[in-house]
Amino acid sequence: MLLPSFRLDHKVALITGAGRGIGKALALGFAEAGADVVIISRTEADLQQLAKEIRYLGRKAYPIAANIRSRAEIEQAVNQAVEQAGRIDILVNNAGMNIRSKALDVTDEEWETIMQTNLKSAFICSQLVGSLMKEQGSGSIINISSVGGHVALRTGVVYAASKAAMIQMTKVLAMEWGKSGIRVNALGPWYFNTPLTEKLLSDPVYLGEIISRTPMQRVGELPELVGPAVFLASDAASYMTGQTLFVDGGMTIFGF
């Protein structure tokens, strides 16, 4: 029996928060796997640079600047993506942020900002793109959650709550949309070397604490997240839905 395909040829992927870090790495990885990529971010300069890199790989790139905290802007971005690319086969809800406040210091504004960015935007994108995928009869949605949605961390209670909710949302959407040929899964990363973690990981004490809680004794590199994401998006994962795949160097088996 031949192995199922890990390629993404003839597919169009839409990735939010694609300007840098995880989103950028996934956009380039999906392009290498054969997909054309709709890249969404608030920063036009980042999008244009990434679009050049995707096109250098021989794939089409569709940069769209949008604030994913606005339903109106998401709707406009999805409509623009369909107009330009023709369809959306893969959705990666990657946009996210954190404010590292202790629970007693969290403000209403911080709560709303994190929840809108991490959770509400992912649901709205899934709702809009899911409707298109239902008409197509197929699609793969990948939510970028976190180990923080599965185990308790010391700070970032709102971030943790948003990522835990994303894991549960993944399960419910998979349950509801499976009959329509739509698979919904999530990735749960631990610490990876990205522009957002650079300052934290430059502190040797902090880095030491992270490594001491990671069986593989190191943080992740972005190419190590690309492979699992391509797998979930591809036909190789055609019978996999409602799952959260932790890419964490073993952290979640160790705990705190």
Question: How many residues in the chain?
Answer: 256
Distance CA 165, CA 186 (A): 12
| Cβ-based neighbours of 241, under 8 Å, separated by 6 or more | 174, 178, 183, 184, 185
Quote the CA–CA distance of 209 and 251 in Å, as a whole number: 12
Give the relative orientation of helices 21-32 and 44-56 as an angle to the nearest 10 degrees.
Answer: 20
Among candidate residues 29, 33, 32, 30, the one with its CA nearest the CA of residue 13: 30
Residue in 56, 62, 159, 239 annotated catalytic:
159
Query: What are 146's two structure tokens?
Result: 């976190």
Report the alpha-carbon distance of residue 76 to residue 83 in Å, rounded: 10
Among candidate residues 246, 166, 154, the one with its CA nearest the CA of residue 209: 154
56 is a catalytic site residue: no
Q: In what order do the strands lie in the sheet with 61-65?
A: 61-65, 36-41, 12-16, 90-93, 139-144, 182-189, 244-247
Rounded CA gap, 26 and 19, in Å?
10
Tally Cβ neighbours within 10 Å of residue 122: 29
* Residue in 165, 43, 44 with CA at minimum distance from that of residue 114: 165
By annotation, the residues acting in catalysis are 159
